[in-house]
Amino acid sequence: MNFLRHVGKIGDRKVAVIFREVPNEPHMCLVVFTELLNAHIHEAVIRCIESEIGQSSANLADALNRTHTKDGKYVLQLLHNEGLLKKVQTSQVVMTPNPKTLIKLDELNKILDEMEQGEQAVKRLAEIDGDTGQNTMEVVKKMREPNTPVVADTTDVLGDNVLANNLLQQAQRMQAEAQGLLAESKRLQDEANSLLGVSTTTQTTPAPTAKKRGRPAKATTAA
C-alpha cells in the first residue's frame, strides 16, 4: 500500500493514531504504541488500519470500534481495558503515510481545519511545499478524502466554485462526524463507569417508615 493513514512515530517508536484530537484538548491526541501490543491485538489493529473502513475513517477509533479480534472482542474496547490508549501532545507525533513523507500531527490538524477556509489553506499549503519540497497538498487531500482524485495544479483552482462547494460539503460531513464522535465518547464513558462500578444515576433515599405505636399502658390503681 503506497499511502497509509493513521500511522506515525514518536521519536523512533511506531504509533497508531486513534484520535487526531482529544475533545476539548486539540493539542492532545490518543495513540497506541504498536510495539507494546501482544500478537493477537497487534494483528487486529494493523488489519483494521489497512482495511477499506480504516482508510476511509477520519479517526481510526471509528473503525476500531467496529473491528473484532479473533476471539470476538471489540478492538477499541480491548485497547481501553488494557490501558493501551495513551494521551500525548500532537506536536510529538510525526505522521508517516508513506516512506517519503513526514508531517507533524499538529501541523496536519491545523491544515485540515483550514481546508474549510478554502483559499487561505491552499496558499498555506503552497508555502509549505515551497519550503520543504514536498507535495503536502496531495498528502492532506489523501488524509482527508482518500477516494477523491487529487488535483495536481492547485494554482488553477483558487477561485473555482466547484472546489468551494466541495469544501463546504466536506465541512458538513466533518461536523456530522464530530457530533457522532461526541455521542460515541459519551457511550464509552458510560461503559467505563459501568466497568468501574460508578453509578450514573442518582439514588433516592427511601422515606423513613412510621414507627409502630404500641398500646397505651394501663394506669395502675393504688391499693
Residue 218 lies in a domain: no
Distance CA 64, CA 44 (A): 9
Specify the pLDDT at position 158.
39
Specify the pLDDT at position 181.
78
Specify the pLDDT at position 111.
87
Specify the pLDDT at position 164.
62
Distance CA 17, CA 155 (A): 32
Side-chain half-sphere of 177: how many Cα atoms within 13 Å? 16
Specify the pLDDT at position 149.
42
3-state secondary structure at position 195: helix
Residue 1 lies in a domain: no
Specify the pLDDT at position 153.
39
Specify the pLDDT at position 180.
76
Concatenated DSSP letters for 35-73?
GGS-HHHHHHHHHHHHSHHHHH-SSHHHHHTT-B-TTS-
Specify the pLDDT at position 172.
73
pTM of the predicted model as reported, rounded to 2 decimal places: 0.54
Distance CA 183, CA 178 (A): 9
The number of domains in the chain is: 1
Specify the pLDDT at position 112.
84
Distance CA 87, CA 94 (A): 15
Distance CA 127, CA 140 (A): 14
Specify the pLDDT at position 186.
82
Residue 30 lies in a domain: yes
pLDDT tens across the length of the chain (223 residues): 578 999 999 999 999 999 999 989 999 999 999 999 999 999 999 999 999 999 999 899 999 999 999 999 999 999 999 999 999 999 999 999 988 889 999 999 998 887 766 666 666 667 776 666 666 666 666 666 644 443 333 333 334 555 566 567 667 777 777 777 777 778 888 888 888 887 655 444 555 554 445 555 554 444 3
Domain of 190, in residue numbers? 7-196
Per-residue exposure over 39-54, b if at least 16 CB sit within 10 Å of its own CB, e if not:
eebeebbeebbeeeeb
Residue 102 lies in a domain: yes
Residue 133 lies in a domain: yes
Residue 208 lies in a domain: no
Residue 143 lies in a domain: yes
Distance CA 7, CA 93 (A): 10
Residue 178 lies in a domain: yes
